[in-house]
Amino acid sequence: MAGGKTVVTGAGGFIGGHLVDYLKKNGHEDIVAVDIKPYDEWYQVWPYAENKILDLRGKEACEESVKGAKIVYNLAADMGGMGFIENNKALCMISVLINTHMLMASREAGVERFFYASSACVYNGDKQKDVDNPGLKEEDAYPALAEDGYGWEKLFSERMCRHFMEDFGIVTRVARFHNVYGPHGTWDGGREKAPAAICRKVIHSKLSGDHNIEIWGDGHQTRSFMYIDDCVLGCKSIMESNIEYPINLGSAEMVSINQLVDIVEEIAGIKLNRKYNLNAPKGVRGRSSDNELIKKELGWEPSIPLRDGMAKTYEWIYDQIQSKVPSKA
């Protein structure tokens, strides 16, 4: 299934950048990498790929990106962590243009398989009010009460993938990512998610000697976090599977935000005074991935331990921060 031209959109972003490299190392020779950002803002630019800068909200740009392609991984979206999506609902919803035009262009170009990166934000908010949430099952997306803005766009686009498959015969695959983290992703600037933000804050405390850290919410809210290597493996496996409905792609290792901070403190060898900002964006109360379905379908689930993935993420963010600090010599 690796033969033929493969397009990855959002390739200048975190997951897309890793996915291009993973696909290249796993049999995909002819890869087109597309993003709206200038190349100096891409997290990773792979020289072996045909790299293109296009705004995929426009149909013509989508047509150009999929010319001659057999396989499309559509990861482009205007998104970020909770701080971004709670304050930019319209921007998040405009990403519907990307998926709509990518699906239309892919169908017209004779693309055989189309992957869509959905999110755990499609799940019904009423099912995420408990910190002991045992994990969201795929059916928990309905009755629909998705995250306002971002989640509704994802839910709508999931359904469009389904109907393009039913009505037009293009094979579509949809994965619902649960919090992905790792090196070469957003760690500052307002779009970063909790794992990177906590690493950055702990490193800042370590380097500055200011041992106070601000935590969004009361720290008891729960999540699961999937390391990037599990994510890209899961994307390709789901793409090549017979799974015709949206499926969870996330870790089932649920932790509270306080436990996540404990892990980063331990990696850094530091103990901090936690200040809880109860007015900050904090999202749902409890969320984790129920992996029964993916285990049944693929005989696999994301399993890289959070402690191991956070150590690598911490190290990468530490290097980024150090490389920005002017040398005292």
The sign of the torsion formed by the CA atoms of 190, 51, 184, 174 equals positive
- Binding status of residue 14 toward ligand NAD by CB under 6 A: yes
With binding defined as CB under 6 A, does residue 10 bind ligand NAD? yes
Helical H segments across the chain, by residue range: 14-25, 59-66, 82-85, 89-94, 96-108, 150-168, 194-208, 228-239, 257-268, 292-298, 306-324
The least distance separating ligand NAD from the CB of residue 172, rounded to whole angstroms, comes to 15
Positions 135 through 154 that interact with ligand NAD (CB under 6 A)? none
DSSP line for 59-128: HHHHHHHHTTEEEEEE------SHHHHTT-HHHHHHTHHHHHHHHHHHHHTT-SEEEEEEEGGGS-GGGG
Element (H, E) at 222: strand 222-224
User: Facing residues of 274 across strands?
Assistant: 213
Binding flag, residue 198, ligand NAD (CB under 6 A): no
Minimum distance from CB of 272 to ligand NAD (Å)?
24
Among 21, 78, 158, 253, binds ligand NAD (CB under 6 A): 78
98 contributes a contact to ligand NAD by CB under 6 A: yes
Residue closest to ligand NAD when measured from CB atoms: 13
Among 88, 119, 205, 237, binds ligand NAD (CB under 6 A): 119
Interactions with ligand NAD, residue window 257-316 (CB under 6 A):
none
Pick from 123, 164, 177, 318 the residue near ligand NAD by CB under 6 A: 177
CB of 123 or CB of 164, closer to ligand NAD: 123
- Tally of CB atoms within 10 A around 210: 11
75 binds ligand NAD (CB under 6 A): yes
| Of 200 and 205, CB closest to ligand NAD | 200
- Classified as helix, coil or strand, 273 is strand
- Among 106, 172, 186, 288, contact with ligand NAD (rule: CB under 6 A): 186
Q: Which stretch binds ligand NAD (CB under 6 A): 74-82, 163-171, 214-222, 304-312?
A: 74-82
Rounded Cα gap, residues 216 and 202, in angstroms: 14
Residue 247: CB minimum distance to ligand NAD, A = 13
Give the list of residues 6+ apart from residue 172 with CB closer than 8 angstroms, or none. Answer: 103, 113, 114, 115, 116, 161, 162, 164, 165
150 annotated active-site: yes
Minimum separation from the CB atom of position 143 to ligand NAD (A): 21
Binding residue for ligand NAD, selected from 2, 45, 52, 55, defined by CB under 6 A:
55
Q: Does 184 bind ligand NAD (CB under 6 A)?
A: no
Strand-strand pairing, 254-256 and 222-224? antiparallel
Question: Residue 6 forms beta bridges with which residues?
Answer: 31, 71
Closest separation between CB of residue 103 and ligand NAD, Å?
Answer: 14
In this structure, are strands 31-35 and 50-53 parallel, antiparallel, or unpaired?
A: parallel
Asked if 79 is part of the footprint of ligand NAD (rule: CB under 6 A), the reply reads yes
What minimum distance in Å lies between the beta carbon of 138 and ligand NAD?
Answer: 15
Q: ∠ CA 233-74-312 to the nearest 5 degrees?
A: 40
Supply 203's token pair.
């490193």
Per annotation, catalytic residue among 150, 181, 227, 314: 150
Q: Which residues bind ligand NAD (CB under 6 A)?
A: 9-10, 12-16, 35-37, 55-57, 75-79, 98, 117, 119, 177, 179-180, 186, 193
Catalytic positions = 150
